[in-house]
Amino acid sequence: MTETPAIRSRIKHLLVDALHLEGLAPSAIADDAPLFGEGLGLDSVDALELVVALEKEFAIRIQSHEVGKEAFVSVSALAAFIEGRLATAGNARAGS
């Protein structure tokens, strides 16, 4: 099982890089701060851009209906979602 803090850190760096959040240090993003609407104030296009970046970074697939929903509320939520996705992929590989 991968360690959640490492995933959270990777997500924060991804947010800053992929979304061009210049002047924002990844460490300054709180784990549980809202990403969309308030907090970081990201919008629908940011969500989609983030998805492409996450898919590349973690080699996972994110379905359209999952975009912008509960999994995307905060960095913590995203980390848990990705952990779960990686575990499923890992189990699938182990089982084949």
Residue closest to 11 by CA, chosen among 40, 50, 48: 50
- Find the binder of other proteins among 19, 73, 75, 82 (CB under 8 A): 19
- Find the binder of other proteins among 6, 28, 30, 52 (CB under 8 A): 52
Contact in structure between 78 and 10 (CB atoms under 8 Å) = no
Q: Does 95 interact with other proteins (rule: CB under 8 A)?
A: no
Q: Does 17 interact with other proteins (rule: CB under 8 A)?
A: no
Contact in structure between 29 and 12 (CB atoms under 8 Å) = yes
Q: Does 20 interact with other proteins (rule: CB under 8 A)?
A: yes
Q: Does 38 interact with other proteins (rule: CB under 8 A)?
A: no
Burial class for 56, CB neighbours closer than 10 Å (0-12, 13-18, 19+): exposed
Contact in structure between 82 and 60 (CB atoms under 8 Å) = yes
Q: Does 55 interact with other proteins (rule: CB under 8 A)?
A: yes
- Binding residues (CB under 8 A) for other proteins: these are 19-23, 43-45, 48-49, 51-52, 55-56, 64, 67
